[in-house]
Structure 1
């Protein structure tokens, strides 16, 4: 059964790559014969949906309820991915809801106004005649590009990554009561990507973090992103350990566009809280307020483009006025959430933007805070990292029902 899941993930990944140029298989470190590259590349949507339904029908054989629920949700999400990419499901809300087990909703004008007020208060100490200029000047401060950006990634970010890895050992693994092999993270510079940074887990307890150098980058925000990306690495270290030591073959493959992603992005966005990294400086307060605002605006923009069918220009203007972005940054950011890529293919990333904000705000941070208040952080981390089946929006609340 576990092997069948891995095989199906590989086939759906090959299907998505055929249509979009991107496989939904984010990482693989399992048996050679189950490698996605060795799986059928030519199955059509109807056959894949049938095979996934047959797999779901076999899950009753699994005694452990969290594992059973995890695998069923992953398979249902993959079915939706196939339906979406085949044009069998076109309703954006249904796509997001089924993939991620969350309800896609726009933030109201009142909520955005309230967050803009928080940004205004946070930016009060900084120069500028009005809020838009303050945000612009603040964003540009410490901005690097070109060779300076590449040098910054190769040196400062690589060094910071090692420091963050040590913090995980000292502040989290010590509470878990166990260690995990960590062969480190290598930083690379890339171009022509719709995202700013990405963690590619390589197996053998190592990762490559890629940063897109097409866009300028703020050095302060980039250093903060290291915590996010390193937590992705850490999560996969424990996942690989569970595969090798406990024999869960289904954990050797990491698919995108499932409920796993909601928790994965939520834990990554909560990494600084996990590590107790506290910086109450004006700069960090302003960065955090802007970050939260722009996550909200990105969700609203995704709904505008994919559900309401608003134009790119209208959505860019919304990002400039409400997200306090420059026109160039707004237009560049929409590449991640637009329905199609520049070459006219289905944009595989267009439903994904919900996972960050909702993963942290609705799932991870409330449970983390409750565990911290009750003095149960050791059990929180043990549940999170020693039982990777807890890491799905479909299993999260049940996994932490002890709290």
Structure 2
């Protein structure tokens, strides 16, 4: 009997000291599989929660056939957290340590989203932290008035500043009958510039489609097997610089590349199934959107974007005699207004400001027409604090990548092929 007791103690000690394994024998691999099941079932309770999935199809079928109710899913998330905390990573490879942290952060975000589905609402900054792991600063709108003043001086004349901006930018609208040609050329250039620095999967590919009646301007639907479907919303005019933005953001080195590299690095090479699913309301989105926006600047540094617009895209769009230099200056100033939207969204979602006034605020501080501002409000209503992932995400990713030193493309590739969390970005 004593010999059997000692054998059990030795076995338990071995399990406790094995990185990635709990004393019970539970493992990160087993927890990761249950995390995927949890995420897929949450997706059945909230359409759109699962942004991409390319794991075993029978798992998706099981989630669709018999999803647990929200209280049961909340219990399952709590159980996953307990199981993760029981797993030892002492002395483990840093990738194993990061894997545990990644799963803990994403299960925590899933728990927060389940509370949201049940009707709980948090203040804007608290919600952002619960879902994405970052707490945005909400500045008073008056902080952005000086930038509006500089834009006003740049575009003198009669009428509201929003109208003057719209009139100036009208010279850069891509005609709808040339949109496919211009977008295809822009994406091809984004890909060429990215492929010169990042080794893309040999079979990577995408399809391009134009759609209407969406709250967003562009969307990447990753299909797995290194394939994406990129959709561009044509409800509102698309400008030449936006063709570059969308080509980089949705494609190269943005969402398409990010998902393809994660698939290759983790799902195919390591068999880490947690990366086969992308929950939209999770820390993953802060990295995804931030890197996709920073990717625009990385692929087209300095005045290279404006030059490509003028020399390549403008002729394809039939645009002549447009002031691209002045437009680039306007874009730089407009970018400084980006975080005003967080304050506007906070006030609206908290019920402090009504819809009409919110549209007016968005029009003023994003320098868009009221109908475009109304579309943006539709996005805010749908995705709420998700909006922090674009501007704040871009600035955070940029700071991290450029702090790595050397070739910024190498830092970007490292980020896109990792389980780095927003907290790791500083």
TM range (shorter): 0.7 to 0.9
Once residues 373 and 413 of structure 2 are traced to their aligned partners in structure 1, the CA distance between those partners, rounded to angstroms, is 40
Once residues 102 and 182 of structure 1 are traced to their aligned partners in structure 2, the CA distance between those partners, rounded to angstroms, is 35
Aligned to 1:8: 38
Aligned to 2:386: 352
Query: Displacement, 1:229?
Result: 1.3
Aligned to 2:216: 195
SS of the aligned residue for 1:194 comes to coil
Deviation sequence 1:282-311 (CA, Å, 0-9, x none):
322312322442x32322221121124411
Query: Displacement, 1:190?
Result: 1.2
- Larger Rg computed on CA atoms: 2
Query: Displacement, 1:215?
Result: 2.1
The structure-2 alpha-carbon separation of the partners of 1:184 and 1:42, relative to structure 1 and needing over 3 Å to count, comes to closer
2:286 aligned residue (234, 249, 262): 262
The structure-2 alpha-carbon separation of the partners of 1:31 and 1:296, relative to structure 1 and needing over 3 Å to count, comes to same
SS of the aligned residue for 1:76 comes to helix
The structure-2 alpha-carbon separation of the partners of 1:70 and 1:62, relative to structure 1 and needing over 3 Å to count, comes to farther
Aligned to 1:157: 183
Question: What is the root-mean-square deviation of aligned Cα atoms in Å?
Answer: 2.3
Aligned to 1:216: 237
* 2:216 and 2:233 in contact (8 A); partners too: yes
2:167 aligned residue (105, 113, 137): 137
The structure-2 alpha-carbon separation of the partners of 1:156 and 1:127, relative to structure 1 and needing over 3 Å to count, comes to farther
* 2:141 and 2:340 in contact (8 A); partners too: no
Once residues 182 and 393 of structure 1 are traced to their aligned partners in structure 2, the CA distance between those partners, rounded to angstroms, is 30
Count of aligned pairs: 365
SS of the aligned residue for 2:46 comes to helix
Unmatched tracts of structure 1, length 5 or more:
18-22, 339-346, 398-403
Query: Displacement, 1:93?
Result: 3.7
1:324 aligned residue (367, 375, 380): 367
Deviation sequence 1:46-101 (CA, Å, 0-9, x none):
11110011111122426322111111111111111111121134544432220011
Aligned to 1:300: 343
Deviation sequence 1:336-360 (CA, Å, 0-9, x none):
012xxxxxxxx3x122111111111
Once residues 119 and 268 of structure 1 are traced to their aligned partners in structure 2, the CA distance between those partners, rounded to angstroms, is 26
TM-score w.r.t. the length of structure 2 is: 0.79
Once residues 167 and 34 of structure 2 are traced to their aligned partners in structure 1, the CA distance between those partners, rounded to angstroms, is 53
Aligned to 2:194: 168
Query: Displacement, 1:182?
Result: 4.6
Query: Displacement, 1:237?
Result: 0.9
User: Comparing 94-103 with 127-136, which one deviates more in the overlay?
Assistant: 127-136
Aligned to 1:239: 262
The structure-2 alpha-carbon separation of the partners of 1:55 and 1:164, relative to structure 1 and needing over 3 Å to count, comes to same
Once residues 39 and 198 of structure 1 are traced to their aligned partners in structure 2, the CA distance between those partners, rounded to angstroms, is 24
The structure-2 alpha-carbon separation of the partners of 1:255 and 1:59, relative to structure 1 and needing over 3 Å to count, comes to same
1:282 aligned onto 2:311: no
Once residues 115 and 41 of structure 1 are traced to their aligned partners in structure 2, the CA distance between those partners, rounded to angstroms, is 53
Query: Displacement, 1:395?
Result: 3.6
Once residues 317 and 333 of structure 1 are traced to their aligned partners in structure 2, the CA distance between those partners, rounded to angstroms, is 11
Deviation sequence 1:146-203 (CA, Å, 0-9, x none):
xx42x33422212321221121111x21xxxx54335322211112211111111111
Query: Displacement, 1:206?
Result: 1.3
The structure-2 alpha-carbon separation of the partners of 1:378 and 1:141, relative to structure 1 and needing over 3 Å to count, comes to closer
Aligned to 2:425: 396
1:48 aligned residue (70, 73, 88): 73
1:32 aligned residue (52, 57, 60): 57
Aligned to 1:377: 408
Query: Displacement, 1:213?
Result: 1.7
Once residues 66 and 146 of structure 2 are traced to their aligned partners in structure 1, the CA distance between those partners, rounded to angstroms, is 49
Deviation sequence 1:239-287 (CA, Å, 0-9, x none):
1102111211111111101111111111111112322533163322312
Unmatched tracts of structure 2, length 5 or more:
1-30, 90-95, 307-324
Deviation sequence 1:315-371 (CA, Å, 0-9, x none):
112123333322222122211012xxxxxxxx3x1221111111112x211112323
Aligned to 2:399: 366
Query: Displacement, 1:5?
Result: 1.2
The structure-2 alpha-carbon separation of the partners of 1:187 and 1:296, relative to structure 1 and needing over 3 Å to count, comes to same
Once residues 247 and 396 of structure 1 are traced to their aligned partners in structure 2, the CA distance between those partners, rounded to angstroms, is 25
